[in-house]
Structures are given as C-alpha cells and as structure tokens.
Structure 1
C-alpha cells in the first residue's frame, strides 16, 4: 500500500487533474489520441458508459460496468479487459487524476481492418478508452435553481427497430438536431418523441412526469438509465406510486411536474415545457423531495464504492 501511495503521489502532478487509459496504457488525458482511420471515429462505431464520483466515492460502479458490458456484447465488441480489470482501471484513473468529484467515462471502440483484411467490423479489434476528469453537469448553476426549460422538437428519436437506445452510443444526429431546435426556441433542452407521438428521452437524460401524485416514465425509446433505476428505488422507499408505460406528448406537456435524471446531474427538475409554466415556475415539491433524498443518500454512501 505504501509503495502504491508513493507511486500515485509521484504521478498525480503529471496527470494534472485528468487521466486516461487508452488501448492498454495509462497517460495524461492530453496525450490520449485515436487514429482518424479507426472506425470508432469514422463510423461512430463505439459504445460507452459514464459513472459519477462524488466526495471520493463512485456511485453504482458495478451497475455501470455491467451495462457497459451488455452494450459491448450487443455490438460484438470484446476488448481484452475483464469487468474486474475495467473496475480497477477506473479506480486507478480517479486516483491518478486526484479529483474527488469526477466524471469517469469508459468507451469501447473499433479500430480499422488490417491491410488486406475484409472491410467488415468483424475484422476490427475492439479496445478501451477511459478517462477521469473533474465533475461535469448537464445543467448550469442557473438551471439548478430555476429548473430546466424543455421543449418538444420536430425531429423524432431514432426508432428502436433501427438501433436499440439501451445500447449507449454516439449516434447523436437526432439528439443534436433537437438541441438546436431547443436553442432556437429559447429552451434549455429538447425531449424527443417517437413516430407514434410518445415521449422517449432527452440528450443524455431520461425523463419523468408527475400527475396527481403518480410518478411516470416512458417504458420504451430511451436508455435504461442507472439514475432512472435509482429513482425507481427512491419511489418505493418514499411510498410514491410509479408507472413505467407509454407516455403521450399531451400527457407529458400537461403534467403537474417534470424532471429529468442522468449520471451527469442526478435528478433535475423542470419548470417549463413548450413555454408552459409548471406550478409557480419553481421546481415541484415531489421532484425536489426526490432530488434531495437522492443527494442525501449519496452523501451517506448509498450504492457507493470508496476510492483509496
């Protein structure tokens, strides 16, 4: 342990608050680069996951790694590292970065076919790119206080029959278009619908609405979020009725309360949707109760993994 402590003390200055692991090697984040010929870049042939660290403690680390493995399996990616090795890599990255509140990413991407090999993804090896940087939040400090302003854009979410949204990916064409529609409308973020007019998700977050005291979230069309799972557990603990089902746009925009949730932000109440003001233009009471309970339990070590 003393030898590891001495080694980390020597390296921390070199890593300057941001560390990376790329294709089998640790390095400062600024040195982590991938070739422009690799399919992870050229074809967005990559899957990823992100886990948060608060006060030197990972939140639901093993759940994130398990989801990451499921995504890799779905995309026929098999890097050499085991789940236990990925866990150790992420822990080490946070130690090297020396940042107690961290945003930790794990990515698996495909290289390019070897010369003469068939230009098929099966010909490309898969490898890891992981990093730890200071905490990043989806919402600004202003949004944290006033609540998010959301809107429903014209662009529709890529249908699950085309690509399963439960596999985290960088295919953000629809989400990016929605973000620009939101900007043009004076909103913070967009929440996309599917072709049937049901609510799916926003760019990097799941959504919930609350009507007559019942907490509701879409059943399909979005990621099975780890923070979303945490909301399920909190609803049970707090005695809140929860429904997971199709959510029409009409139901959503007319709700009593709306909130989003994600690793990079936790539970994030909204106060406007399509220009409609919810409540008194302040985060709703049930949303706030869930948010406060979430962070209080996080501070107590709920689902936590301590970093040395």
Structure 2
C-alpha cells in the first residue's frame, strides 16, 4: 500500500508530499505539532490532543486553520487510507511560507501537514522488560508548555539515551526532574505514592499524563503533584513515563541503577492495564 500524507488540503503519496524551502517551520521551527495514538483503528483521547493543539497555536499567535470537526475528518481519512490499526497520527501547523525574516509575515496562509505511522503499542516488548532511563541536563527554552516543533534539545537527549542503551532521557533542572525527552516522568515512592511534577511552563501538559492522574484518582491510587529530585528518582520503588506513543511505560533502571527488583513494578503495570481499558473506550 502506498503511504499517504496530507499537505495543505491534498492527500498525496508520501514521495510527492512536500513543502517550500521558505516555510517558516523549516527556517525557524515556527510551528506547532500534535501526535495522537490509534488503537483498533480508532483515535485515542483525541479531543485532548486537538484542544492542546489549539492552545499551543494560540500561544504563538497562529490561527488554527481548521475547526475540530475538520481535524478529526483529516485524521480519520489518513488512518483509513493508510490502513492503520495501531500507531500514530502526526499533525503539524507552521506559520507558512514567506521571505526569510524574523518578524511575522502578514496574511500568510498556514502550512498544514499530517501523516500516520504504524507502531506496535499493545504488545510493545519494552513494556514487558521495562525501559532503561538516563538523566540529562534540561537545556530547553522557557516555554515547554507549548508543543513546538523546535525539538533539537529533545533530539540530543534522546540520542544520548540511545547511545547509553536507554529508551528515554529524563531531563533535570535545578536538581529536579522536569519531564522525559518525549514523555511525562513519574516515580512511585517506597510508601506507594505516585509522584509527578505539577504543570507549569517547565513542562508539556501531557494528555496521557492527565488521563493517568484521573485513573489514579478513580482507582484510589495515592498521587501527588510536586517536584522530585534525581536522588528521589534513584531511590524510588518504581518509575514510569507516559506519552501518546508509549501509553504507560515502566522504568526498571535509571543511570544504571536498578529500581526495585529490576522488573516492571506493580503500580506501573496496573496503570498500563487501566489506561488500555480507558483508551479502548475513548476517541
């Protein structure tokens, strides 16, 4: 099957899909993106992702090019055309094409790109073995709550993790964990309390994070939103991270230090099961 992408109103074979070299997304990383999971051919918690897309666009002064209903139509059409039963849908909106200048161009149409990726989520072998994580300095800008396409710091962190044989990097600022390079970070204390950092400009308001917090409350799992240190992470009974592509991923070691018995912990495994039940009932 030929892979199909969406570019500015057209569904095109991937090899024909292109944007201008003068696009501000390419020149300045002047754009926003979103990623939603697909499970059983259905979009997972998609309303939250589209609301976050709207917010991020607003924060950098880009008008949302589509109402929610049109975004959903584009996403579902791409899922159908590409035959995706399990994977991801990626959306990107930039400020558009203009002569290279730092200031915003006037009345420039946005550039809209979307595509799908097939990905194993349900039977991801990493969830069975647990992920290894390293910690790295957080060198990003100060508005991490905006889902910007400017991801160089995250790319470098993820590459550093890969070279260390790890799946993810947890970023550190002033001694505390901010978030993963493409995820939200959680720990579970030896007393069984789940800890994650509270929302602020320092981290992205994760859609999967929000669902996991709600599930913890629904099923009487104690959870606190507060800063936690690298030392607390190293000393935790468990750790895990959440994202649209990983759902809930147990962590079994950090910076080479084994957590617990070196296997996915019971809280992370329970939340992963609960999230799959949630995801199968949502779109």
Pair 95,180 (structure 1): closer, same or farther in 2 beyond 3 Å: closer
The DSSP-based 3-state class of the residue aligned with 2:154 is helix
Tell me whether 1:97 sits opposite 2:75 in the alignment.
no
8 Å CA contact 1:228, 1:262 repeated in 2? yes
Tell me whether 1:229 sits opposite 2:210 in the alignment.
yes
Query: What TM-score comes out, normalization by structure 2 length?
Result: 0.91
Deviations 1:262-301 (A, max 9, x none): 00111000000111111111001111111112113333x2
> Gapped runs of 5+ residues in structure 2?
none
> Gapped runs of 5+ residues in structure 1?
1-12
The DSSP-based 3-state class of the residue aligned with 2:178 is coil
Please list, as runs of the form range in 1=range in 2, the aligned pairs for 1:287-298 lying within 5 A after superposition: 287-298=268-279
Tell me whether 1:50 sits opposite 2:35 in the alignment.
yes
Residue 134 of structure 1 corresponds to 118
The DSSP-based 3-state class of the residue aligned with 1:88 is helix
* Cα offset, 1:140, TM superposition: 9.7
C-alpha distance in structure 2 between counterparts of 1:223 and 1:129, whole Å: 22
Please list, as runs of the form range in 1=range in 2, the aligned pairs for 1:77-226 lying within 5 A after superposition: 77-113=62-98, 120-123=103-106, 124-135=108-119, 141-153=124-136, 155-160=137-142, 164-194=143-173, 196-211=174-189, 212-219=191-198, 220=200, 221-226=202-207
Residue 8 of structure 1 corresponds to none
* Cα offset, 1:119, TM superposition: 5.4
Q: Please tell me whether Structure 1 or Structure 2 has the larger radius of gyration of its CA atoms.
A: 1
Pair 233,111 (structure 1): closer, same or farther in 2 beyond 3 Å: same
Pair 77,293 (structure 1): closer, same or farther in 2 beyond 3 Å: same
Pair 157,205 (structure 1): closer, same or farther in 2 beyond 3 Å: same
Deviations 1:151-204 (A, max 9, x none): 112x324242xxx1121122222222223333443433211112x211011121
C-alpha distance in structure 2 between counterparts of 1:188 and 1:133, whole Å: 19
Pair 222,80 (structure 1): closer, same or farther in 2 beyond 3 Å: closer
The DSSP-based 3-state class of the residue aligned with 1:199 is strand
Residue 3 of structure 1 corresponds to none
C-alpha distance in structure 1 between counterparts of 2:254 and 2:183, whole Å: 16
Moved over 4 A (4+): 139-142
8 Å CA contact 1:113, 1:119 repeated in 2? no
C-alpha distance in structure 2 between counterparts of 1:140 and 1:158, whole Å: 33
The DSSP-based 3-state class of the residue aligned with 1:297 is helix
Deviations 1:218-246 (A, max 9, x none): 12422111100110111012101111111
The DSSP-based 3-state class of the residue aligned with 1:113 is coil
8 Å CA contact 1:113, 1:120 repeated in 2? no
Residue 242 of structure 2 corresponds to 261
Please list, as runs of the form range in 1=range in 2, the aligned pairs for 1:18-97 lying within 5 A after superposition: 18-97=3-82
How many residues in Structure 1 have an aligned counterpart in Structure 2?
Answer: 279
Query: What TM-score comes out, normalization by structure 1 length?
Result: 0.84
More helix by share: 1
8 Å CA contact 1:19, 1:133 repeated in 2? no
The DSSP-based 3-state class of the residue aligned with 1:193 is strand
Which of 238, 248, 253 is residue 219 of structure 2 equivalent to? Answer: 238
